[in-house]
């Protein structure tokens, strides 16, 4: 496998392989070994054309723990923000000898453009492209669910997951729908009708506009971030209505199944889609998601880069 | 194909190795046994039980996967990572006995030494191997050997163990 | 016997009959089964079909303003290569063609190039802003004699403005060509709204944004009894509305582009913006409905919407890329592939859709005429049996944004005759000296 652009690039076996690899890598990192020589001599470029401290640091930590050299290329103040094209940026990366580029970009498909163009030959890891996908987030989410609720199983068969919020604009939702159903979980999307894409009927999910009806039946509630701009774009009348119908507050949390967990890809709008009490409660695994992110990203980099020339396509 | 070690040969060799380990280290008190997955881990487990039954105490035993420390990763597609389990006693100041099934080029053991170096600082590192087939590419040697098997480079040595393959046997295949 | 300029021997006409055609002084001087006069040039059209020269009612020539993408000259060359003897230059240039001055400039550039007729289309509203009517009368009375008006690129979305335009243009015997796209429903839209856009995370351009405007405009056109033309129809729903309107006797005509007869929205899956176009590629069922409608005449004509863009506008992320594809040089081949070779249409019908009817809608008197003695010699000679492979580096257009690069297409255009002279002979385009 040369690139990770979308969960659709994986199948059940390769997805579970990444999760299992992450388990071992986490054990290694938790234990005495803090640094592995596995990717020594490789150069990984973080190309973050969209602001994101959390994900970039996570990928950077993952790369460094595998002894790769990391170069950070972020939007603010860089030539990318001054109008340098994706093509010129890619050719610069190629000239720098990047073995892999971790790209975060506001345009859906930017990772695919970089991977499929003739401008550079390295591996491309999609760290979030527009509203399309965020595969490493879905993998760390699946890892977290499996760790907390998997009961030793390699997949997620038998688990019910609710994804709640702005599905229309969420790359996290798209990747999670693909991965969770691939791993056998049952997914329910909960959102106001305006925030579900036309075409969602063909996705392997149930749909509900009624959060309260769904809550007692699920093992995982994954809250999505709702952006303030959505209100001015007529997706819902105001924050109050949104929270009333789709916010996860303490009353709703009390109706959750015993053992069910709360997740959020971050950053949270405390008070809008999720209340402070819920975010800080014992059901929340939100900070654990961040920790797991590093191991999962180490596993992704290992699977893409540790193998040799026989595995890579020729450009 | 010829059988180099039968099940009984293997059993006797492991018993002898267990005694040799105890003799060389003057007892079990400072030992940590780490098997290199997959088959080395099973052999380590057997050696640990044998020592336990001789001495009446349990020896800290674990596994050390060296995939991430290999020097030949780039030559093949990525390998699956096996579990690494270091006993809670750790390895600092301990006499660590690495256990593997076949000693050949020595590169696996070099990776294991690198891995151990990242984990801590043992007092000593010793190597027990079921089969030594020669053709070292690095200055590595075994302390405890089940059987020395002279082979040519093109031959292959196959180790079968009950835990993974249903029976115990060591065979050599190919032309000498 | 006096020497004629051309004799085309063994031509097969659209109705299947065979004839020799003699051309002299810009007109067809004789037609007979065997003409023996001497000619300056003799063309053997054995196994070829001769049609009236193709007429495009939707071409973006980009001059004035974006001469890096295309000029009137390069666009003319592309048109000749595609078998066209008349192009219609859309008004969304820079400056916009909303005055007599700009349309006369474009007209003059076309005359200078001399390869085909370039008829400027005038903007409906000033600056294409959709607020105030442009100088429709001045453009109609100018040397360019504009009869077709369009804000293409933008929709005339204000219903009152559209009503007034439809009424006003009646004085000048003109037609308003609407680019049907409700702007509020398509803000920042990138591709057809549907299953594919949901998966790809690209903002959708719903079919209803086209259909709603068409429905509104056919009713307004009926109310004020004016002629309406719908540009680049792309939806099955739009086809239904046009069918309904025509059944009621409403004076509406519609066009479809070659790419909408073939390509579908799943091509966006690679995120390669060579497939980014406005209106967007739609679904398989839309393509089938469009083909059926073109065959039965609900859709009156094929128009290319030839939209050249420089490389940097396509070698980037989808969202940054410009909308549009080249169309002139591949149009007839795509129509042959989708409509003739699939047995949906005959060559006679192709002559109707790509020459006779467009000329009638826009009032181009010297074009789209039946091939007979005395008619102006604007012809195209096509070899439908030969195939060719599209190479984006070898196009006549200044730009190379064709979605068909590497495709093998049927039908080679051998010769194009404009005003009795060969604008293209054996695939070679005439230079100024030879014209």
**Sign of the dihedral through C-alpha A265, A266, A272, A275:** positive
Rounded to 5°, angle at Cα C123 from C118 and C129: 150
CA–CA separation, A237 and A243 (whole Å): 11
Scored b (16 or more CB within 10 A) or e, A218-239 reads bbbbbbbbbeeebeeeebbeeb
| Least confident span in A68-82, B16-30, C219-233, C262-276 | A68-82
pLDDT exceeds 90 at position B121: yes
Asked if residue A138 lies in contact with residue A175, where contact means CB atoms within 8 angstroms, the answer is: yes
CB contact under 8 A, A308 and B115: no
CATH code of the domain covering residue A179: 3.40.50.1370
Beta bridge partners of C230: C178, C254
Amino acid C3: pLDDT: 86
User: Which candidate in C251, C305, C391, C393 is catalytic?
Assistant: C305
Among C201, C270, C312, beta carbon nearest to A108 = C201
Quote the tokens at residue B19. 């005694």
CB contact under 8 A, A109 and C195: no
Mean pLDDT of chain B: 94
Does B140 contact chain A (CB < 8 Å)?
no
A182-208 pLDDT, tens digit each: 999 999 999 999 999 999 999 999 999
CB contact under 8 A, A133 and C202: no
Higher pLDDT, residue A31 or C7: C7
B33-71 pLDDT, tens digit each: 999 999 999 999 999 999 999 999 999 999 999 998 988
Return all residues near C4 (Cβ < 8 A) that are at least 6 apart.
C22, C23, C24, C29, C30, C37, C38, C39, C40
Specify whether A38 is located in the same domain as A103.
yes
Among B68, B73, B83, beta carbon nearest to A308 = B73
Does A104 contact chain C (CB < 8 Å)?
no
Among C196, C201, C320, beta carbon nearest to A131 = C201
Does B41 contact chain A (CB < 8 Å)?
no
The SS3 assignment for B79 reads coil
Return all residues near C36 (Cβ < 8 A) that are at least 6 apart.
none
Higher pLDDT, residue B141 or A34: B141
Asked if residue B163 lies in contact with residue B42, where contact means CB atoms within 8 angstroms, the answer is: yes
Asked if residue A156 lies in contact with residue A150, where contact means CB atoms within 8 angstroms, the answer is: yes
Residue range(s) defining the domain that contains residue A262: 135-286
- CB contacts, 8 Å: C199 with chain A: 174, 199
Q: What is the CA radius of gyration of chain B?
A: 16
Q: In degrees rounded to 5, what are phi and psi of residue A16?
A: -65, -35
pLDDT exceeds 60 at position C102: yes
Q: How many CB pairs under 8 A join A and C?
A: 74
Asked if residue C87 lies in contact with residue C76, where contact means CB atoms within 8 angstroms, the answer is: yes
Do C and B count as touching (3 or more CB pairs closer than 8 A)?
no
Task: Judge whether A47 lies within some domain.
Answer: yes
Specify whether A67 is located in the same domain as A101.
yes
Amino acid A315: pLDDT: 28
CB contact under 8 A, A197 and C206: no
- CB contacts, 8 Å: A205 with chain C: none
The total of other beta-carbon atoms located within 10 Å of residue C213's CB is: 25
CB contact under 8 A, A38 and B82: no
Return all residues near C394 (Cβ < 8 A) that are at least 6 apart.
none
CA–CA separation, C11 and B164 (whole Å): 81
CA–CA separation, C155 and C130 (whole Å): 8
B70-88 pLDDT, tens digit each: 888 878 777 888 988 999 9
Chains adjacent to A (≥3 CB pairs closer than 8 angstroms) = B, C
CB contact under 8 A, A108 and C194: no
Confidence of residue C25 (pLDDT cuts 50, 70, 90): very high
pLDDT exceeds 70 at position A314: no
Specify whether A150 is located in the same domain as A213.
yes
A253-262 pLDDT, tens digit each: 999 999 999 9
Q: How far does CA A311 lie from the centroid of its chain? A: 25
Question: Which ranges constitute the DSSP H helices of C297-384?
Answer: 331-335, 347-351, 357-362
Chains adjacent to B (≥3 CB pairs closer than 8 angstroms) = A
Higher pLDDT, residue C114 or A49: C114
Q: What is the CA radius of gyration of chain C?
A: 21
| Percentage of chain C exceeding pLDDT 70 | 100
Specify whether A123 is located in the same domain as A156.
no
Task: Judge whether A311 lies within some domain.
Answer: no
pLDDT exceeds 70 at position A286: yes
Task: Judge whether A2 lies within some domain.
Answer: no
Work out the burial of residue B55: count CB atoms within 10 Å of its CB; fewer than 13 is exposed, 13-18 middle, 19 or more buried. middle
From C299, C282, C387, select the one nearest C337 (Cα to Cα): C387
Q: What are the extents of the domains in chain C? A: 4-50+373-429, 53-362
The SS3 assignment for B26 reads coil
In this structure, what DSSP letter does residue A56 have? H
Scored b (16 or more CB within 10 A) or e, A253-266 reads beebeeebbbbbbb
Q: What is the CA radius of gyration of chain A?
A: 19
The total of other beta-carbon atoms located within 10 Å of residue C409's CB is: 17
Q: Which fold has domain C4-50+373-429?
A: Urease, subunit C; domain 1 (2.30.40)
Common-topology check for domains C4-50+373-429 and C53-362: no
pTM (2 d.p.): 0.89
In this structure, what DSSP letter does residue A84 have? -
Specify whether A253 is located in the same domain as A242.
yes
Mean pLDDT of chain A: 90
Among C194, C312, C317, beta carbon nearest to A110 = C317
Does C200 contact chain A (CB < 8 Å)?
yes
CA-to-CA separations, B170 to B45, B108, B127, C337, in angstroms, rounded: 18, 19, 19, 67
Confidence of residue A309 (pLDDT cuts 50, 70, 90): very low
The SS3 assignment for A76 reads coil
C177-190 pLDDT, tens digit each: 999 999 999 999 99
Mean pLDDT of chain C: 96
Task: Judge whether A1 lies within some domain.
Answer: no
Does A67 contact chain B (CB < 8 Å)?
no
CA–CA separation, C411 and A6 (whole Å): 40
Residue range(s) defining the domain that contains residue B119: 2-20+37-73+80-173
CB contact under 8 A, A108 and C312: no
Scored b (16 or more CB within 10 A) or e, B146-167 reads beebebeeebebebbbeeeeee
Does A307 contact chain B (CB < 8 Å)?
yes
Does C311 contact chain A (CB < 8 Å)?
no
The SS3 assignment for C18 reads strand
Does A124 contact chain B (CB < 8 Å)?
no
pLDDT exceeds 90 at position B89: yes
Higher pLDDT, residue C2 or C288: C288
Does A302 contact chain B (CB < 8 Å)?
yes
Collect contacts of C165-170 with beta carbons under 8 A, ≥24 apart: C165/C124, C165/C125, C165/C133, C165/C136, C166/C217, C166/C220, C166/C221, C166/C224, C166/C226, C166/C228, C167/C224, C167/C226, C168/C133, C168/C136, C169/C136, C169/C226, C169/C227, C170/C224, C170/C225, C170/C226, C170/C227
Specify whether A143 is located in the same domain as A281.
yes
Beta bridge partners of C427: none
Confidence of residue C2 (pLDDT cuts 50, 70, 90): confident
Q: In degrees rounded to 5, what are phi and psi of residue A79?
A: -65, -25
Amino acid A32: pLDDT: 64
Do A and C count as touching (3 or more CB pairs closer than 8 A)?
yes
Does the annotation mark C393 as catalytic? Answer: no
CA–CA separation, C420 and C23 (whole Å): 6
From C136, C137, C135, C103, select the one nearest C120 (Cα to Cα): C103
Q: How far does CA C25 lie from the centroid of its chain? A: 28
- CB contacts, 8 Å: A199 with chain C: 193-199
Amino acid A310: pLDDT: 41
Give me the number of domains chain A comprises. 2
Give me the number of domains chain B comprises. 1
CB contact under 8 A, A35 and B118: yes
Amino acid C5: pLDDT: 92
Specify whether A157 is located in the same domain as A246.
yes
CA-to-CA separations, B70 to B79, B112, C280, in angstroms, rounded: 10, 9, 52
Mean pLDDT over B134-160 rounds to 95
- CB contacts, 8 Å: A35 with chain B: 118
Quote the tokens at residue A2. 């040369």
Higher pLDDT, residue A50 or C133: C133
- CB contacts, 8 Å: C316 with chain A: 85-87, 113
First-to-final CA distance of chain A: 14
CA–CA separation, C205 and C185 (whole Å): 7
Amino acid C353: pLDDT: 98
CB contact under 8 A, C319 and A132: no
**CATH code, residues C53-362:** 3.20.20.140
Amino acid A82: pLDDT: 55
CA–CA separation, C11 and C14 (whole Å): 10
Task: Judge whether A149 lies within some domain.
Answer: yes
| Percentage of chain C exceeding pLDDT 90 | 96
CA–CA separation, C339 and C334 (whole Å): 8
Return all residues near B165 (Cβ < 8 A) that are at least 6 apart.
none
Mean pLDDT over B4-20 rounds to 96
Chain C residue with the nearest C-alpha to that of A116 = C270
Closest Cα in chain C, distance from residue A236 (Å) = 16
CATH code of the domain covering residue B54: 3.40.50.2020
Amino acid A118: pLDDT: 81
Task: Judge whether A313 lies within some domain.
Answer: no
From C351, C277, C281, select the one nearest C313 (Cα to Cα): C277
Task: Judge whether A315 lies within some domain.
Answer: no
Amino acid B11: pLDDT: 97
Amino acid B175: pLDDT: 84
Amino acid A228: pLDDT: 76
A44-93 pLDDT, tens digit each: 999 998 878 889 999 999 999 999 999 988 766 555 555 567 888 888 88
Confidence of residue C435 (pLDDT cuts 50, 70, 90): low
The total of other beta-carbon atoms located within 10 Å of residue B141's CB is: 13
pLDDT exceeds 80 at position C425: yes
Closest Cα in chain A, distance from residue C308 (Å) = 20
């Amino acid at each position: 496998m040369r690139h990770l652009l979308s969960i659709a690039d994986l199948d059940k076996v390769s997805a579970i392989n990444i999760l299992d690899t992450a388990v071992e890598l986490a054990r290694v990192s938790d234990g005495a070994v803090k640094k592995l020589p596995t990717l020594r001599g490789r150069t990984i470029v973080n190309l973050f054309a969209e602001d994101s401290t959390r994900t970039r640091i996570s990928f950077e930590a993952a790369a460094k723990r595998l002894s790769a050299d990391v170069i950070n290329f972020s939007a603010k103040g860089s030539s990318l923000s001054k109008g340098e094209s994706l093509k010129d940026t890619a050719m610069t990366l190629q000239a720098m000898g990047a073995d892999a580029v971790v790209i975060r970009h506001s345009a859906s498909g930017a990772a695919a453009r970089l991977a499929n163009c003739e401008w550079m030959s390295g591996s491309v890891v999609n760290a979030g492209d527009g509203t399309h996908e965020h595969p490493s987030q879905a993998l760390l989410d699946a890892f977290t669910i499996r760790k907390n609720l998997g009961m030793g199983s390699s997949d997620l068969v038998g688990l019910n997951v609710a994804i709640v919020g702005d599905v229309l604009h969420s790359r996290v939702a798209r990747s999670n729908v693909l991965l969770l159903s691939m791993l056998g979980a049952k997914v329910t999307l909960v959102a106001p009708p305006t925030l579900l894409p036309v075409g969602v009927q063909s996705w392997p999910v149930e749909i509900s506009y009624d959060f309260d009806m769904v809550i007692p039946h699920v093992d995982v509630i994954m809250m999505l971030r709702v952006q303030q701009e959505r209100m001015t774009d007529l997706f819902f009348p105001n924050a109050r209505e949104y929270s009333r119908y789709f916010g996860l507050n303490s009353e709703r949390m009390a109706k959750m199944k015993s053992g069910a967990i709360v997740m959020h890809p971050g950053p949270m709008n405390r008070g809008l889609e999720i209340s402070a009490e819920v975010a800080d409660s014992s059901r929340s695994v939100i900070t654990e998601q961040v920790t797991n992110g590093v191991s999962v990203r180490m596993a992704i980099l290992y699977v893409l880069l540790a193998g040799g020339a026989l595995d890579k396509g020729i450009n | 194909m010829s059988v180099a070690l039968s099940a009984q040969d293997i059993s006797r060799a492991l018993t002898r190795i267990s005694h040799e380990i105890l003799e060389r280290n003057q007892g079990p008190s400072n030992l940590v046994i780490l098997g290199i997955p997959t088959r080395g881990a099973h052999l380590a487990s057997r050696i640990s039980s044998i020592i336990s039954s001789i001495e009446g105490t349990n020896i800290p035993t674990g596994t050390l996967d060296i995939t991430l420390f290999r020097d030949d990763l780039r030559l093949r597609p990525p390998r699956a990572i096996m579990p690494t389990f270091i006993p809670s006693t750790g390895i600092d100041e301990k006499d660590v006995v690495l256990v593997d099934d076949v000693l050949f080029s020595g590169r696996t053991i070099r990776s294991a030494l690198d891995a151990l170096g990242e984990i801590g600082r043992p007092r000593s590192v010793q190597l027990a191997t079921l089969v030594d087939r020669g053709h070292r590419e690095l200055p590595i040697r075994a302390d405890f050997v089940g059987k020395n098997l002279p082979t040519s480079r093109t031959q292959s040595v196959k180790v079968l163990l009950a835990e993974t393959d249903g029976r115990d046997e060591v065979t050599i295949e190919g032309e000498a | 016997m006096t020497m004629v300029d051309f004799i085309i021997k063994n031509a097969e006409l659209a109705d299947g009959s065979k004839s020799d055609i003699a051309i002299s002084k810009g007109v067809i001087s004789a037609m007979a089964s065997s003409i023996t006069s001497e000619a300056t040039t003799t063309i053997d059209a054995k196994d070829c079909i001769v049609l009236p020269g193709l007429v495009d009612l939707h071409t973006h020539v980009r001059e004035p303003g974006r001469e890096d993408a295309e000029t009137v000259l390069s666009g003319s060359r592309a048109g000749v290569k595609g078998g066209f003897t008349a192009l219609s230059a859309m008004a969304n240039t820079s400056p916009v063609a909303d005055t007599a001055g700009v349309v006369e400039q474009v007209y003059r550039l076309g005359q200078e190039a001399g390869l085909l007729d370039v008829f400027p289309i005038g903007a409906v509203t000033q600056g294409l802003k959709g607020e105030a009517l442009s100088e429709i009368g001045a453009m109609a009375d100018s040397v360019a004699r504009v009869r077709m008006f369009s804000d293409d690129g933008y929709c005339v979305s204000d219903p009152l403005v559209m009503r007034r335009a439809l009424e006003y243009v009646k004085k000048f015997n003109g037609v308003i060509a609407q680019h049907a796209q409700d702007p509020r429903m398509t803000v920042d839209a990138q591709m057809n709204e549907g299953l594919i856009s949901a998966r790809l995370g690209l903002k959708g351009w719903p079919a209803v944004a086209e259909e709603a405007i068409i429905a509104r405009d056919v009713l307004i056109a009926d109310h004020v009894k004016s002629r309406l033309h719908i540009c680049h129809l792309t939806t099955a729903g739009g086809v239904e509305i046009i069918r309904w309107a025509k059944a009621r006797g409403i004076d509406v005509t519609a066009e479809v582009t070659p790419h909408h007869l073939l390509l579908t929205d799943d091509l966006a899956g690679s995120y390669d913006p060579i497939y980014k176009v406005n209106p967007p590629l739609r679904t398989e069922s839309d393509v089938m409905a469009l083909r059926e409608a073109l065959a039965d005449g609900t859709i009156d004509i094929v128009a290319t919407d030839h939209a050249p863009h420089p490389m940097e506008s396509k070698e980037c992320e989808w969202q940054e890329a410009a909308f549009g594809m080249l169309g002139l040089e591949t149009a007839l081949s795509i129509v042959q592939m989708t409509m003739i070779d699939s047995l949906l249409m005959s060559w006679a019908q192709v002559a109707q859709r790509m020459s006779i009817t467009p000329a009638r809608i826009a009032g181009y008197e010297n074009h789209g005429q039946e091939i007979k003695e005395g008619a102006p010699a604007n012809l195209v000679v096509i070899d439908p049996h030969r195939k060719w492979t599209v190479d984006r580096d070898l196009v006549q257009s200044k730009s190379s944004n064709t979605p068909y690069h590497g495709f093998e297409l049927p039908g080679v255009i051998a010769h194009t005759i404009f005003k009795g002279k060969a604008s293209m002979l054996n695939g070679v385009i005439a230079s100024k000296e030879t014209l």
